[in-house]
Amino acid sequence: MDDDSGTLPPRQDFSGWFNDILWRAEIMDVRYPVKGLYVWYPYGFAIRKFVYNRLRELLDRDHQETLFPLLIPEQEFMKEAEHIKGFEDEVYWVTHGGTTPLDVKLALRPTSETAIYPMYALWLRSHADLPMKYYQIVNTFRYETKQTRPLIRLREITSFMESHTVHATWDEAEAQCEYELGLTKEFYDGLCIPVTISKRPDWDKFPGADYTIAVDAIMPNGKTLQIGTVHHLGTHFSKTFGIQYEDKDGKAQLANQTCYGISERSIAALISMHGDDKGLILPPAVAPVQAVIVPITIGKRHEDVLAAATKLEADLKAAGFRVKMDTRDMRPGAKYYWWELRGVPLRLELGPRDIDAGKVMAVKRTGEKTSLERATIIDGITTVFAEITEAIRARAEEHTKSHLCAVDSTDALNTALNEGKVAVVHWCRERGCGDAIEEKANSSILGTEVRSPYVDASDGKCIICGKPGRATLVGRTY
RNA sequence: GGGGCAGUAGGGUAGCCUGGUCCAUCCUAGAGCGUUUGGGACGCUUUGACGGCGGUUCGAAUCCGCCCUGCCCCA
């Protein structure tokens, strides 16, 4: 029927849209023949590269990058009781070297605490060594039993940034958690992704943490996606792994630790949050191609136009923009759709009319068409990029704002969630009431101590028992 | 954790119940030639498939078993 809109499903069918855009825009190929493992296409990997470059820049302000091994010996992995309980059903084990059974089984890291902390115990001697702030970006393996999804629920997480810090005191570690939340917010702000931050309930915290603060994004269908977590580990791990330092008085002290993580779910959020019926919309900051030049070559001015476009491309590249000139033998319209699908934020059209007028036609992926002066094109594009970024951000903020609402009963909660919203309720923080909230509305408690400009975090009566309660985010999660 | 649907060429589908043939079919798919080119051009030629393993059978995309993978729904 509407065969001119391509076959990308509309955004209302978010699940269909997401599955389809991954291969149409050449981000991930799901056809790798092992469950939960997917292949990055070059274009998807280029997006990943620019996103992770930003992440590295942020972390390198304060952390140092490092790299630990993939394999963890069983006895180290089994040291911390809570941690084991949290991960034992999800661990892949290496049991053989060739045909020889191994004396000591080796775990493929599901996360790297038990790989890193024995080394931290060796590295840490004195209070003068503190704080230690290292991170790595690695793949991790989890034998997920729930349905796997590309970028969202994987058996091999390919892009796991995990930071592990060590501090003298609990308070310093807490301050580090706050700092890391700030980094996370800044990171997502750069991707124009609004987030809600909240403290996970105790039963949902990281295995072996004092507390977990999570960062969630609200997807187009109203489901929430956890896209970052910060954990205060207290001294749980320093006890088991013997991470101690001598204080100024020469006395041995247990260290306090934090860890936090961000994965390719950040890419899932990026492509989900900003897309439309035509495809991806990438913020200029992370778009592998920030602007595409489409020369409109007709008749005998073919050479003229091509020369002008080549010059334009060279000028823009020299100015540091990531541009691509599309000289393929296709009709201009077909090229427009092709680049729109891939989310390129700006299209520059250059034809005989524009050359004569000293202009370049600039079409924003967010929908607006403007004519830029060729003479001042660098400034013009810089301005346009800022406008595009703002438009993308504003749209995402509006989405997030409109998908949050306060409710004061389980019926209202159910209604809100069924409408695809994330709700704010009051909850007394008792497990029983928490379970009741989750069961009655088929939902998950995301957390308390909510931080979001769109959430009123003041106290109120628990919607189950009526006792004093705290503002709490409740949603349906990925 | 439970249930369901599905896997046929790059993508989308038919065929399966009721096993057999000569050509599967459509496309924004691949290769090629020509005409085209300011919002998805067209003509012609051509390439290419039954998820895997095993079983039944003279003969399997089709029936049976096991496995793998994907997707949807519910908890």
- Per-residue pLDDT tens digits for A44-100: 999 999 999 999 999 999 999 999 999 999 999 999 888 999 998 999 999 999 999
Average pLDDT across chain A, whole number: 95
- State whether the beta carbon of A402 lies below 7 angstroms from any atom of strand B: no
Distance A331 CA to B33 C1' (A): 19
Q: Which nucleotide is nearest to A89 (CA to C1')?
A: B1
In tens, the pLDDT along A189-247 reads: 999 999 999 999 999 999 999 999 999 999 999 999 999 999 999 999 999 999 999 99
Distance A29 CA to B20 C1' (A): 38
Provide the b/e sequence for A351-364 (b: ≥16 CB within 10 Å): bbebbeeebbbbbb
From the list A40, A34, A52, the residue with the least C-alpha distance to A270 is A52
What's the pLDDT at A412? 94
Say if residue A1's pLDDT is above 70.
no
How many angstroms separate the most distant Cα atoms in chain A? 85
Scanning A191-275, the segments in alpha helix (DSSP H) are 236-241, 265-274
Residues 209-268 of chain A in contact with strand B via CB under 7 angstroms: none
What's the pLDDT at A297? 86
From the list A260, A255, A261, A259, the residue with the least C-alpha distance to A241 is A255
> Which residue is closest, via its CA, to the C1' of B52?
A33
**Residues linked to residue A167 through DSSP beta bridges, in sequence order:** A256
In tens, the pLDDT along A356-368 reads: 999 999 999 999 9
Say if residue A3's pLDDT is above 60.
no
In tens, the pLDDT along A263-299 reads: 999 999 999 999 999 999 999 999 999 999 999 987 7
What's the pLDDT at A8? 87
CA–CA dist A364, A369 (Å, integer): 6
All domains of chain A in start order, with CATH: 3-274 (3.30.930.10), 291-386 (3.40.50.800), 404-475 (3.30.110.30)
> Which residue is closest, via its CA, to the C1' of B68?
A33
What's the pLDDT at A198? 98
Residues 126-165 of chain A in contact with strand B via CB under 7 angstroms: 145-150
What's the pLDDT at A302? 87
> Which residue is closest, via its CA, to the C1' of B28?
A6
What's the pLDDT at A418? 93
What's the pLDDT at A4? 34
Say if residue A2's pLDDT is above 80.
no
Nucleotides of B strand lying within 7 Å of any protein CB atom = 1-2, 11, 28, 36-41, 68-75
- State whether the beta carbon of A330 lies below 7 angstroms from any atom of strand B: yes
What's the pLDDT at A162? 98
CA–CA dist A347, A290 (Å, integer): 9
CA–CA dist A121, A112 (Å, integer): 14
* pLDDT > 70 in chain A, percent: 99
Residues 84-113 of chain A in contact with strand B via CB under 7 angstroms: none
From the list A9, A119, A33, the residue with the least C-alpha distance to A69 is A119
Distance A7 CA to B29 C1' (A): 14
The whole-number average pLDDT for the span A431-448 is 94
Is the distance from CB of A238 to CB of A210 less than 8 angstroms?
Answer: no
Instruction: Find how far residue A218's CA is from the centre of its chain.
Output: 12
What's the pLDDT at A311? 97
Look at strands A422-427 and A404-406 and give their pairing.
Answer: parallel
Provide the token pair at A7: 């076959």
- State whether the beta carbon of A353 lies below 7 angstroms from any atom of strand B: yes
Distance A125 CA to B17 C1' (A): 75
What's the pLDDT at A234? 98
Distance A36 CA to B69 C1' (A): 10
What DSSP string describes A91-153?
Answer: --EEEEETTEEEEEEEEEPSSSHHHHHHHHHHH--BGGG--EEEEEEEEEE----SPPBTTTB
In tens, the pLDDT along A379-435 reads: 999 999 999 999 999 999 999 999 999 999 999 999 999 999 999 999 999 999 999
The whole-number average pLDDT for the span A129-149 is 96
- State whether the beta carbon of A367 lies below 7 angstroms from any atom of strand B: no
Say if residue A5's pLDDT is above 70.
no
